[in-house]
Amino acid sequence: MATLKIIKKRIVSVKNTQKITKAMKLVSAAKLRRATEKAHSSRPYEEELLHMVSSILQDVEWKSPLIVERPENKVAFVVVSTDRGLCGSLNTNNFKNVLKRVSELPNSKIQIIALGKKANDFFRKRGFDVHSVYLDMARNGNFAFIESIAKKIRELFIDETFDRVEVFYSRFESAISQKTETFTLLPFVPPKKEGQTSFIYEPAAAELLDSLVPMLLDFRLFRVVLESVASEYGARMAAMDSATRNARDMIERLTLQRNRARQAAITKELMEIIGGAEALVA
């Protein structure tokens, strides 16, 4: 049985841990609001771009290396993760989704483009070929930075370094719910639009698509990063809230154990005093 001194040290240690988890929860909650606003506001913009591109493609046959479909011999997985831990099962669920997709492509050469330290560490340890690594999406993930990454990915696809590019990320649903999702970035396959609408384009429709499709691809990757950052803050806030409550419960159990140990020590001392007094009387 633990001594009274050891129990007191454990209580102090757990209280210090509780202060840290509570502070991390408050910090994540403060950052979550801004990240959530950015993630939510990016969705309508992407949807409108998709709608615009789909409408134009109804009226014109567009030829571009970005839409060329090739045998999936060389596949790139863009995996968006966090740089730090303490965010529950957020990264684990995303990585499981990647590994499941890997098992579906046994004959393909797969390379990882890691957007986050955790993705880089996870796949390197398991022997995957990590093509490139980009860190600290929460701080560096502005549009200009993501645009440069998307441009490099487009160039690699056009040069036939990759035959297909898929993106894996965590979509933000709420502070306690993040959903792992994946989609094909390249080759670009626009969604089919119901109904027929004719427009007069200036400049020509093909020239518009030459500008709009790369812009759409850049923004899709940017939106994915915004979703992942919001998911990270939400998952960390929930994880730290749970850790804080667990620490509180542990402190209560240790306090009860301390009181029992102290009562036992007092009882033992009283018994020794009574035994000593009886011995003197005898």
Q: List the CATH number of the domain containing 61.
A: 3.40.1380.10
Is 271 found in the same domain as 182?
no
Is 223 found in the same domain as 158?
yes
Q: How far apart are the first and last CA of the chain?
A: 35
Strand 74-80 to 109-115 pairing: parallel
Is 266 found in the same domain as 149?
no
Q: How far apart are CA 102 and CA 251, in angstroms?
A: 44
Query: Mean per-residue pLDDT for 211-227?
Result: 93
Is 78 found in the same domain as 48?
yes
132-157 residue pLDDT tens: 999 988 887 789 999 999 999 999 99
Dihedrals φ, ψ of 248, to 5°? -60, -45
Q: What is the number of structural domains in the chain?
A: 2
Is 73 found in the same domain as 198?
yes
pLDDT of 182? 95
pLDDT of 266? 81
Q: How far apart are CA 61 and CA 65, in angstroms?
A: 13
75-133 residue pLDDT tens: 999 999 999 988 889 999 999 999 999 999 988 899 999 999 999 999 999 999 999 99
Encoded tokens for 88: 């529950």
Is 116 found in the same domain as 132?
yes
Is 244 found in the same domain as 216?
no
Report which DSSP code applies to 191.
P
Is 227 found in the same domain as 271?
no
29-47 residue pLDDT tens: 999 988 999 999 999 999 9
Is 252 found in the same domain as 230?
no
Encoded tokens for 18: 């509780």
With beta carbons less than 8 A apart as the criterion, state whether 188 and 164 touch.
no
Is 171 found in the same domain as 48?
yes
Is 215 found in the same domain as 170?
yes
**Which residues are part of the catalytic machinery?**
87
Owning domain of residue 16: 4-24+240-281
Is 20 found in the same domain as 108?
no
Q: What is the pTM of this model?
A: 0.86
CATH code: domain of residue 244: 1.10.287.80
Strands (E), the chain: 74-80, 109-115, 129-134, 164-174, 177-186
Task: Quickly count: other Cβ atoms within 10 Å of residue 76's Cβ.
Answer: 25
SS3 175: coil
Identify the weakest region by mean pLDDT among 22-26, 241-245, 270-274.
270-274
- Strand-pairing partners, residue 6, are none
Short-list 264, 233, 106, CA closest to 170: 233
